[in-house]
Amino acid sequence: MSRLSNKVALVTGGSRGIGAAIAKRLATDGANVAITYAKNPDAAAAVVKEIERSGGKAIAIQADAADANAVKTAVEKTVATFGRLDVLVNNAGTAIPKKFEETTLEDLDRVIDLNFRGVMLTTHAALKHMKENGRIITIGSCVGERVMTPGLVPYSATKGAVKMFSQGLSREVGSRGITVNNIQPGPIDTDLNPASSEWAVSQKAATALNRYGRVDDVAELVAFVAGPEASYITGANLTVDGGTNA
């Protein structure tokens, strides 16, 4: 028996970057995995194929994480396909780095709708199906606690919001054995935040380890929190940031 055998996980934004690594890692631990994506069906299909090639089960669902109906349908499709829902990973998110005074209302709405409102919508839909010992895991950010660079004002505000959302919700669902935790990555090499970009220089310098992290660094922590060994961890903000916030 693998540690997540008979468990079903839904990972939002699981077609690339951190979400794809989480989906593959949870599948390696034995979970059946549903991933959502917004725009790129080929990338999502590639993740599903890779999981299936390794003997796992996965499906990909197009669902904008900021769209309440799409998210509800994605949760229902996950339960209809795999029969239950044990682990929700709220990973879909984006940043639109620019100075706050140059930020447009559209930019603001996009970041808030996806990074914060979307997390609440998806969690709301998932909780209806989650039984004893469920896991709600949100990918926040180390900038949800401390901000080292300019240009991330709305982004860091949404990541601070999901931190308090997780803490608050942990108080409401703990009696069902459901844990709610917020994982706070530092700079991780993805399409959203490439280690080769000019913007990476200051982020790398702000770490204690003087390097970017890998998507698997985050996936390992998520897999631990999703598993039975972490049943007494809830309402926690777990940072995997190379020492950025040290």
Name the residues that contact ligand NDP, by CB under 6 A: 12-13, 15-19, 36-40, 43, 64-66, 91-94, 114, 139, 141, 185, 187-188, 190-193
**Shortest spacing between CB 50 and ligand NDP, in angstroms:** 14
Nearer to ligand NDP, 3 or 224 (CB): 224
- Residue positions annotated with a catalytic role: 155
DSSP assignments along 100-153, one per residue:
GGG--HHHHHHHHIIIIIHHHHHHHHHHTTEEEEEEEEEE--GGGT---SSS-H
The minimum distance between CB 139 and ligand NDP, in angstroms, equals 4
How buried is residue 131: exposed, middle or buried, by Cβ count under 10 Å (0-12/13-18/19+)? exposed
Find the shortest distance in angstroms from Cβ 186 to ligand NDP: 6
Comparing CB distances to ligand NDP, the nearer of 114 and 137 is 114
* Least separation in angstroms between CB 133 and ligand NDP: 25
Q: Are 13 and 66 in contact (CB under 8 A)?
A: no
Q: Measuring CA to CA, how many Å separate 89 from each of 64, 82, 86? A: 15, 16, 10
Q: Least distance from C-beta 6 to ligand NDP, angstroms?
A: 26
Kindly state the smallest distance separating residue 165's Cβ from ligand NDP, in Å. Answer: 13
